[in-house]
Amino acid sequence: MKFHVTSFLSLSILCFFYAEIYAFAAADEAKIHAVTTFECIGIYYPSQNHGECEVRYRESGADNWQTALSRWRDARNQEYRGSNIGLKPDTNYEIRLRSEEKQIEFQTRTKTDRVPIGKVTYLPDGVLNEPITIRESGAPDAYLLITPAEGAKTTIDVINAADCTAITDADYVILRGIELKNAARHGISIERGRHDIVVEDYCVTFWDRIGGPLSFGNEGGSNSSIFAQGGAGNLTIQRNLLEHPRGRPSNDWDTGHPNEP
């Protein structure tokens, strides 16, 4: 009888131990934040642990786990951080994290690199001296593509008479294969809060204020070949040539940085 009581107590303690571990794991899993791209999964894992955080992963349904680099712990934010790279687009992955006694598993999916196109707007061949403004949005399953006609080359040269050569004030848009020149500030401006925009195969040259900070004063350092306003997100910038900013390509040491000491 004593044996049975001991076994029962041992079993109860063991069940309680695993239940406690499961509760901790479930709570920690709820705090995990995964950011996915086409071939990468960035993991943010808030934890009070200080030991090594081992990472294993596999495609959902696969038999074998693969080992990734252990996560780096950011003591300021009390979290482990790091990325799994070299993954497949549009694929579901199982992730297993182990830190000290805790083991957590969760699933996430990489982004697809196939963007569905619904409508195509062709730009004319030749040089345009007025900026283009895109206000028509596509849809998640039907992006709007803005591109030169087949065999054509479209160059937008505003000759420093406009702040931007292209303004995107729409969502679910693809901008492809255009040359932009001589914007007074930004080559492309993606407006505040806009999302799901692809900019690819562009050539952006000779943007920025002429003369750099000495001519305009040390009051702004955000002139960009591709500028995204606050709240814009889920942007894909790929296969672009961004070169020859006018004036000074960066802030000099004498005038300092406009946003820092």
Task: Please give the order of strands across the beta sheet that includes 226-228.
Answer: 132-134, 164-168, 186-190, 226-228
Domains of the chain: total: 2
Same domain, 134 and 80: no
Output the six-digit token pair for 63: 């038999």
Same domain, 81 and 187: no
What backbone phi and psi angles, to 5 degrees, belong to 170?
-155, 165
pLDDT in tens, 174-231: 999 999 999 999 999 999 999 999 999 999 999 887 654 444 444 555 788 999 999 9
CA distance 227 to 222: 8
Same domain, 128 and 239: yes
Q: For 67-73, which contacts have Cβ atoms below 8 Å and span 24 or more sequence positions?
A: 71/43, 71/45, 71/97, 73/47
Q: What is the pLDDT of residue 48?
A: 87
Q: Has residue 253 been placed in a domain?
A: no
Same domain, 175 and 194: yes
Same domain, 89 and 172: no
**pTM given for the model:** 0.74
Q: Has residue 31 been placed in a domain?
A: yes
CATH number, domain of 32, equals 2.60.40.10
Quote the domain boundaries for residue 75. 2-109
Same domain, 136 and 197: yes
Same domain, 93 and 125: no
Q: Has residue 190 been placed in a domain?
A: yes
pLDDT in tens, 88-130: 999 999 999 998 878 999 999 999 999 999 999 999 999 999 9
Same domain, 78 and 178: no
Same domain, 97 and 144: no
CA distance 13 to 27: 21
Give the pLDDT band of residue 255 (cuts 50, 70, 90): low
